[in-house]
């Protein structure tokens, strides 16, 4: 028998009895007026890294798209389907968000598999092809001399944030709003074990503690 997960039903019932009563008016307003979030978050689909939980966001506050390794692909106009690009286009051109945040994190499985070149990253699979968005043609990603594996992984996890921010600016509609001062791009890095958040300083290109 195909049974819906019981813990999800239990969670829904808790939502109905505990959270919904305190936010019922907000949900009704969102239903009638539609959403108008000021922030879009591009995050990883890792179950440990929920933007709504990390930023203690209420309903309607964040427009979120999640994928393996929080990657934004470069702008392309072809016959392919582009889910992240479509979400970005909607957020920027329709919702008119004021901020786009790329949220990376520690212990990212996609990044580690990419570094270790382990299964399921074969040349023809979905994950392997997706992770190729991270590097440019001819670019080599390798461990530096005297760099520990842990430091190497962290460096690449943060590099993925920089690459996504770089790719964001290949979209003409993003360029236009950023250059007019109508929208800002941000990077952030979440430490799963400690619950720590580091925000990218675009001038120094360093991640600084949000505390």
Provide the pLDDT for residue 119.
60
What is the model's pLDDT at position 123?
57
Strand partners of residue 207:
200
Helices assigned H by DSSP within 15-138 = 20-33, 51-54, 83-89, 109-116, 126-131
Boundaries of domain holding 160: 35-209
* CB 42 within 8 Å of CB 101: yes
Given this model, what pLDDT does residue 122 score? Answer: 58
The confidence score (pLDDT) of residue 135 equals 79
Indicate if 169 and 147 belong to the same structural domain: yes
Give every CB contact of residue 12 below 8 A, 6+ residues apart in sequence.
none
User: Are 156 and 66 part of one and the same domain?
Assistant: yes
The 10s digit of each residue's pLDDT in 61-104 is 999 999 999 999 999 988 888 999 999 999 999 999 999 999 99
- Tell whether 192 and 107 lie within a shared domain: yes
Q: What are the residue ranges in the chain where pLDDT is below 70?
A: 118-124
**Phi-psi group of 107: left, alpha or beta (phi > 0 → left; psi -120 to 50 → alpha; rest → beta):** left
pLDDT given at position 116: 80
Q: Verify that 49 and 22 share a domain, yes or no.
A: no
Q: For position 186, which CATH number holds?
A: 3.40.1050.10
C-alpha atoms less than 13 angstroms from C-alpha of 105 in its C-beta half-sphere: 28
Domain shared by 115 and 200, yes or no: yes
Quick one: 102 and 73 in the same domain? yes
- Number of separate domains in the chain: 2
**pTM for the predicted model, two decimal places:** 0.93
Judgement on whether residues 30 and 58 belong to the same structural domain of the protein? no
């Amino acid at each position: 028998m195909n049974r819906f997960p019981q813990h999800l039903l239990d969670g829904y019932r808790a939502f109905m009895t505990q959270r919904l009563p305190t936010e019922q008016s907000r949900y009704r307003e969102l239903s009638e007026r539609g959403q108008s979030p000021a922030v879009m978050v591009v995050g990883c689909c890792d179950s440990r890294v929920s933007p709504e939980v990390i930023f203690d966001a209420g309903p309607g506050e964040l427009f979120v798209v999640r994928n393996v390794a929080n990657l934004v692909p470069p702008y392309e106009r072809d016959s392919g389907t582009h889910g992240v690009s479509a979400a970005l286009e909607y957020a920027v051109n329709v919702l008119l968000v004021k901020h786009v945040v790329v949220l990376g994190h520690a212990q990212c499985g996609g990044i580690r598999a990419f570094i270790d070149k382990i299964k399921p990253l074969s040349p023809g699979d979905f994950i392997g092809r997706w992770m190729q968005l991270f590097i440019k043609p001819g670019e080599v990603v390798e461990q530096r001399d005297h760099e520990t594996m842990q430091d190497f992984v962290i460096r690449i996890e943060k590099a993925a944030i920089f690459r996504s921010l770089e790719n964001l600016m290949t979209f003409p509609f993003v360029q236009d709003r950023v250059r007019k001062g109508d929208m800002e791009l941000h990077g952030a890095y979440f430490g799963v074990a400690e619950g720590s958040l580091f925000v990218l300083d675009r001038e120094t290109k360093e991640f600084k503690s949000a505390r």
